[in-house]
Chain A
Amino acid sequence: DVKVTQSSRYLVKRTGEKVFLECVQDMDHENMFWYRQDPGLGLRLIYFSYDVKMKEKGDIPEGYSVSREKKERFSLILESASTNQTSMYLCASQRQGASRRKEQFFGPGTRLTVL
């Protein structure tokens, strides 16, 4: 059974804290993604990675950074958390390849609250 796991389901942090969200996949996928989900806005791509140590900015990278030291792990970092980063964060992975049919597999999400 394929699996994407995220380190926390719920997280509460204070403004200015450094926050790490961890994502691990066991499918040997090359591509991994971080999204945030907000009501009325759907899912928006923050960063993605297509290989170890490789990363690309998504649509809303400001205030975030990422790390991919191992193929199975993709971390999202909030260097100095702010209240406008309160959101649901979803990690996804997918295999590399030219097919447009390849689906993304998602983790259960982390609901982050920044006070």
Chain B
Amino acid sequence: AQKITQTQPGMFVQEKEAVTLDCTYDTSDQSYGLFWYKQPSSGEMIFLIYQGSYDEQNATEGRYSLNFQKARKSANLVISASQLGDSAMYFCAMRGLNAGGTSYGKLTFGQGTILTVHP
């Protein structure tokens, strides 16, 4: 079984500053993938960034980077130079293997963190 924990229900950040959204996970799989999605108030889920458990470097996508600490089982999202449009709900998710050794790609999601960017 897999579990994702996001302990910050809400976060506030000043425009142009950096913010870190926490994510810890629990899995017995040796190989897995971690995702971050953004959900604006309009409701659609937007894929932001992916980190594989065997990737040697932390993932980066523009202003998004993933602080991956495998030993601590954490995969925190860092948003640099926050913008007003970054205000949204953010979800951490993971994909591993099921008992049969195959995956139909199920994702396990955390509870989400609401980020509010102040001008």
Chain A residues packing against B (C-beta within 8 Å): 9, 31, 33, 35, 40-45, 48, 50, 56, 58, 88, 90, 92, 94, 96, 98, 100-109, 111
Contact = CB atoms under 8 A, between A and B. Distances in A.
Interface stretch (B12-20, B63-71, B98-106): B98-106
29 contacts: A31-B104, A31-B105, A33-B107, A40-B111, A41-B111, A42-B6, A42-B109, A43-B107, A43-B109, A45-B106, A48-B104, A50-B104, A56-B104, A96-B105, A98-B102, A98-B103, A100-B31, A100-B32, A100-B33, A100-B103, A101-B50, A103-B35, A103-B50, A104-B45, A104-B107, A108-B42, A108-B44, A109-B43, A111-B43
Given A33-B107, A43-B107, A108-B42, 20 more contacts: A9-B43, A31-B105, A33-B106, A35-B109, A40-B9, A42-B4, A45-B106, A45-B107, A92-B45, A100-B31, A100-B52, A100-B95, A100-B96, A101-B33, A102-B105, A104-B45, A107-B44, A108-B43, A108-B44, A111-B43
A66 to B, nearest CB: 14
B91 interface: yes
Interface size class of B (residues with CB under 8 A): 20 to 34
Nearest to A43: B109
Contact of B44 (A40, A44, A45, A106): A106
Contacts of A33: 106-107
A101 B111 contact: no
A90 B4 CA distance: 19
B91 A43 contact: yes
A102 B4 CA distance: 19
B110 A42 contact: yes
